[in-house]
Amino acid sequence: METLDEFRQLGLSEKALEAIRNKGFEKPSPIQKITIPVILGEDVDIIAQAQTGTGKTAAFGLPIIEKFEGKSDVINALVLVPTRELALQDCDEIVSLAEKRIYAVAVYGGQSISEQKRRIKKGVQVVVGTPGRILDLLKRGDLNLDNLSMFVLDEADEMLNMGFIDDIEAIMKYTPKEKRTLLFSATMPDRIVKLAKKYMKSPKKLEVDKTQPTTGLTDQIYFEVRESDKFDALTRIIDIEPEFYGLIFCRTRNDVDVLNTKLIERGYASEGLHGEITQAQREKTLARFRKRYINILVATDVAARGIDIVDLSHVINYSLPQDAESYIHRIGRTGRAGKQGTAITFVSAAEYRKLNYVQKVTKSNIRKEILPAAEDIVAVKKEKIKDELFDIIKKKAYTDYLGMAEDLIAINSPEVALASLLRLAFKSQLEVSNYQEIRTFRVDTKGTTRLFIGLGKKDGMTPRKLSEFIRKEVKISDNHIDDILVRDDFSFITVSFTDAEVILKAFARHKSDGKPLITKAKPRS
């Protein structure tokens, strides 16, 4: 089949095909295949389930350009997005595809509203913006939607998560009744469904593959790792990859700061992103990440919203997200634009039940793997160093050092001189002993439970002493007791359901202040 024939079969014009050719696209993505013909050929509202990175901007952008080319300088289409980053990305994509056939503008908080007003007044057919700024412009009378024909809600579930639902409904009231509404969302929570029923006319639902809501190009794996070993596990993953370029998700702002600091101290090019970071610093960090001045970005779910990097090699769940929908959004950031990506999840014993829940809800095949051995990582590093040296030789980028080399080999054999130099330059990287031992633990596939113990630091307990205390009463291996947390007056441990029953039975007669010494605790979220 001729290049672009599949795009042509969607009903796109030759001008659109030329723009697609200039962008370097060859085949439409699955969401484009099912969405573009409906938007172009049918006068219906649509609900399209598609995550970021699936080509959805072009899925609605190309039909918008086709429909409103040559129309008067009134606003024909409004695209509502959750973040300023996505506003800029969507707008840039539409502008590049339009090739001056229509004009679009991005509006968002943090930029001069008077400048945005001036650009709108100059004449545009498409406005892409965040709910807060769009509503501000409407209330001031600087944005007129009387001629609006198409209203796009992009990443509707993210706007819901960020608390924009009331703003969306307020904006709806400024739009004409006779318009088409296109809703794009990675997931379909009840509030989004209710919004669709209230404001959309018999919408047509479009879904790429109902059985696979996660990205098909993403290889999903998990490693069973104790909480205390997660950092060392992470460094192994980074070091084993020749070209690691990844986003690492943590649950809280503090977790981001701690992990990012540890990575920097270990010599990695990393920066953190969370809700307490200023917008200026956020933009600076994202720019450095896109240009690959840094290759690791540590972020919370909230801070990562709107980030659209198309060529990530890895997304790593340093800790599992709170819900399955967040997992979909996280891993959807790799395996994009036809490139294979890898999503890695570190799972402690306490998180195992949540992993099973995520797999069930997302219908994902997340397979278990074994962490690479230290010896394997060092072997990979040695090969990489050799490749870099051969590259220097090929480019003859060594001339400034020939004098030193001659001095060294004048009294040593070339082999000894080179080996000594390699040790001096790379000792810290090539020592197997630099990698801490990562202990394995057993996970009962029927699940784990958290136990509360009425002893703490005031009783002289440490994680090691607490483990020994339990094993004196119960014949249980040390590596069966995981995630030991010792506080001043009490402690927690995680064990399999089977071991929990044995421990509870063995300590049934042990009391603390008249209460059972060990009881089942409420599972951590």
Confidence of residue 150 (pLDDT cuts 50, 70, 90): very high
Average pLDDT over residues 101-105: 92
What are 21-50's pLDDT values in tens digits? 887 777 888 889 999 999 999 999 999 987
Asked if residue 485 is part of any domain, the answer here is: yes
Q: What's the CATH code of the domain at 85?
A: 3.40.50.300
Compute the distance between CA of residue 303 and CA of residue 299 in angstroms, rounded to an integer. 6
Compute the distance between CA of residue 455 and CA of residue 510 in angstroms, rounded to an integer. 12
113 shares its domain with 244: no
Q: Which residues pair with 129 in a beta bridge?
A: 80, 107
156 shares its domain with 273: no
Considering the entire predicted model, what is its pTM? 0.54
Last residue of a domain, one of 434, 461, 484: 434
Asked if residue 389 is part of any domain, the answer here is: yes
Asked if residue 441 is part of any domain, the answer here is: no
124 shares its domain with 108: yes
Longest dimension (CA), the chain: 88
Nearest-5° Cα angle at 233, 229 to 234: 120
Confidence of residue 211 (pLDDT cuts 50, 70, 90): very low
Last residue of a domain, one of 148, 179, 207: 207
Q: Is 121 left (phi over 0), alpha (psi -120 to 50) or beta?
A: alpha
183 shares its domain with 319: no
287 shares its domain with 326: yes
Asked if residue 361 is part of any domain, the answer here is: yes
421 shares its domain with 455: no
Asked if residue 391 is part of any domain, the answer here is: yes
Confidence of residue 1 (pLDDT cuts 50, 70, 90): very low
The structural domain count of the chain equals 4
Asked if residue 440 is part of any domain, the answer here is: no
Nearest to 81 by CA among 190, 164, 178: 164
**pLDDT surpassing 60 at residue 263:** yes
- Helix (H/G/I), strand (E/B), else coil: 111: coil
Q: How far is CA 286 from CA 119, 229, 312, 470, in A?
A: 26, 28, 13, 48
394 shares its domain with 489: no
CB atoms within 10 A of CB 378: 18
Task: Decide: residue 498, CB within 10 A, 0-12 exposed, 13-18 middle, 19+ buried.
Answer: middle
Compute the distance between CA of residue 83 and CA of residue 329 in angstroms, rounded to an integer. 15
34 shares its domain with 109: yes
- DSSP symbols for 462-490: -HHHHHHHHHHHS---GGG-EEEEE-SS-
Q: At what angle do helices 414-426 and 374-395 cross, to 10 degrees?
A: 120
Asked if residue 54 is part of any domain, the answer here is: yes
Last residue of a domain, one of 315, 344, 368: 368
Asked if residue 317 is part of any domain, the answer here is: yes
Q: What range defines the domain where residue 317 resides?
A: 218-368
88 shares its domain with 157: yes
- DSSP symbols for 334-348: SS-TT--EEEEEEE-
184 shares its domain with 55: yes
Q: What's the CATH code of the domain at 485?
A: 3.30.70.330
41 shares its domain with 186: yes
What are 435-485's pLDDT values in tens digits? 777 776 555 545 677 888 989 888 888 888 898 899 888 888 777 787 788
168 shares its domain with 310: no
